[in-house]
Amino acid sequence: MSATDSNLSAPAYLYDLVCAVTESGLNATMLDLLSEQDQELFVCFAVDETGKTVQVPIEQIQDAAGVDPFSIPDGTTSADPVLGRLNEGGFLYAFRAKLGLPAGIAPDQMPDVIKLDQGNSQVTYQLFCAEFSVIVLNYMPRNQNTFTNASQSAADPWLFRFIVNMNLEKGADTPFNQLPPAAQQRIDNVDPDTMFSVQQLLLDVSTRALEGAVAIPGLDPASPAYIALTEVFIGAYWDKMAPEGSVMVGFVATPAPADVKGPSIVPTALTFEVVEYKDASSTLNEGLNTLNYLTVANNSTLPPATPFSWNWVDPADEASCHGVMAVRRGVFETFVASLLNPQAAPLSVDTNTYLWHDGESLYMQLTVPQSPNPAQWVAPGTSVAGADGWTPLLTINYNHNSSDSASTWTGGGKETGHFNYALVGDFSSLGNQLRLTINTQSYCDWNYYLLGIPTANFGANIVNFTLTATFTLGVGTDGTLNVTMDPATPTIADTSQDIDVSTWDHIIDVGNMADQIDAIRATLTAALTASATGLAGQVSTLLNGSSGWIYPGGKTFLFHDVVFSTEQDLVVRVVYADPTPTPTPAPALAPAAARTAQAQA
């Protein structure tokens, strides 16, 4: 099973939008981001005049020692005067790192930054740097001090593994709910343009927990230096990687400018879920494990995280796809209905027949005013694919019946008449196509009785035509849906029936019925044909115009290959846009600079 099996309308889910990104896609993009980092971090500690351990500028220690303390060789003893000067300066320990990727590791061998290996709501985050050094002045009895200077190998970086709880559910016993209210509010406020970016996936330090001790030669995990490393230095790392205001998985929303249309669905609540990839034989593929952003819009209540019964990305798509975004069918149905309904009114008409007499003469009048209560496009209660494979997203139905009768002055002659109208239509989906079908019928019958005996009658669908138009869906790399109407459509199948009543007009003197019926048929046919054809043309205009559909995440992803799932969720594949200011080759998957072409293909 894959994203084409997406069924967010199932009672177990009911999320408005799910964005599922693969572990391999996350890591390729995280490494892209890290490859552009070159900031240096220094954290230094010393003892002040009161004997208290304080953080000091590294320059202060360098001035006291007379040399760069990171240049002092490992194993230096108190026999070297430089340690005496460090002692006099109160030096304790310092850390230096350069953000980025270690130079001694091939891109395809780089450690994963994110591992989706901790169950339903937790992930592993692996922190590492391009360069990392630790220096410690080891105070020993009798002033036999020694110096530790340890640096990571360019080919074997020090990995700091953190277990991060991604559960943002309100009321749950999670690190998120232990945060101050202001921090929780920052996480809850989402910006639909960038909420899915890897920058925003850098988590608040209060939601992480270091897993185990990192083996650093010469540094005791129980030492104050090691504790400072894991508590203070790592905090400085997070501050560099994710400055204040952007360290959360969510962030303050920024309204779009007044002249720029924002996304068509704006999430108002978010939580995460990790789903493990399994094929039909239960074979695992960690690269296809997905981190799922579960969201609802319009301040709806967010359902709890529930594992999906389908995989989001297939192995065949792993090299060209970082994930998918799925919109629940009801959300898209409501959106399309809001566009079509203002154009639908002309299709609802009220057929009226009026019969009367003048002495022994009988007369008929037919009119077709537009209905004051026109039908609306609505989602069907149940939606099942037809024999042709098309499944209705929206349907429209309207009926109006009219009948009348009249008798001559003597009662010897009598006429009865019916003039009925029926409209049925559907807006259906199949794969990456939409189909508009509209059928309109107007039935007219007339009966004449002489002395109670049926003498003349006719009946037929004087209007009966079916319009069909098909459209192909596409999506721009920016997440804007585009629609193209098949140039061979719309087609109209006209099976209207003719009625020749001129003979009866002459024999029984009922007025010029033939001209009336021909005139009303011509008027109704022209009006309904124009309305239906106009609606077909409006579908492309509305969905391609300023009111059209735009996916959230346009500043994060490149979008491609939009399609309806078998349950009519609107699904699109996504590829992370390059997260760095300067395009660089991605360490995995396709090169970042090639992703635009890949998505357009």
pLDDT confidence of residue 379: 92
- Of 6-20, 59-73, 267-281, 497-511, the range with the lowest mean pLDDT is 497-511
pLDDT confidence of residue 500: 64
- pLDDT tops 60 at residue 296: yes
Residue 357 pLDDT grade (very low, low, confident, very high; cuts 50, 70, 90): confident
- pLDDT tops 60 at residue 589: no
- Nearest residue to 15 via CA among 318, 343, 275, 405: 275
pLDDT confidence of residue 208: 57
Measured CA to CA in angstroms, residue 250 lies from 154, 273, 310, 329 at distances of 34, 15, 27, 25
Residue 116 pLDDT grade (very low, low, confident, very high; cuts 50, 70, 90): confident
Give mean pLDDT, residues 9-31: 91
Q: Rounded CA gap, 229 and 217, in Å?
A: 14
Residue 294 pLDDT grade (very low, low, confident, very high; cuts 50, 70, 90): very high
- Of 7-16, 60-69, 125-134, 381-390, the range with the lowest mean pLDDT is 381-390
pLDDT confidence of residue 194: 60
Contact 37, 241 (CB under 8 A): yes
Q: Rounded CA gap, 286 and 123, in Å?
A: 12
Q: Rounded CA gap, 452 and 297, in Å?
A: 66
pLDDT confidence of residue 173: 57
Give mean pLDDT, residues 312-339: 91
- Of 117-121, 436-440, 482-486, the range with the lowest mean pLDDT is 117-121
Q: Rounded CA gap, 184 and 492, in Å?
A: 57
Give mean pLDDT, residues 109-133: 84
pLDDT confidence of residue 435: 95
pLDDT confidence of residue 140: 87
Q: Rounded CA gap, 393 and 378, in Å?
A: 8
Share of the chain above pLDDT 70, in %: 81
Residue 36 falls in which region: left (phi positive, over 0), alpha (psi -120 to 50) or beta: alpha
pLDDT confidence of residue 361: 73
Q: In angstroms, how far is CA 417 from the centroid of its own chain?
A: 55
Task: Give the three-class secondary structure for 193.
Answer: coil
- Of 184-193, 292-301, 483-492, the range with the lowest mean pLDDT is 184-193
More confident position, 106 or 577: 106
Residue 258 pLDDT grade (very low, low, confident, very high; cuts 50, 70, 90): very low
What pLDDT, in 10s, does the model give residues 217-249? 888 888 888 888 887 877 777 666 654 433 222
- Of 60-74, 183-197, 385-399, 557-571, the range with the lowest mean pLDDT is 183-197
- Nearest residue to 563 via CA among 453, 474, 444: 474
- pLDDT tops 70 at residue 293: yes
Average pLDDT, the chain: 81
- pLDDT tops 50 at residue 254: no
Q: In degrees rounded to 5, what are phi and psi of residue 287? A: -60, -25
More confident position, 596 or 556: 556
Share of the chain above pLDDT 90, in %: 36
What pLDDT, in 10s, does the model give residues 443-469? 988 887 878 787 777 788 989 999 999
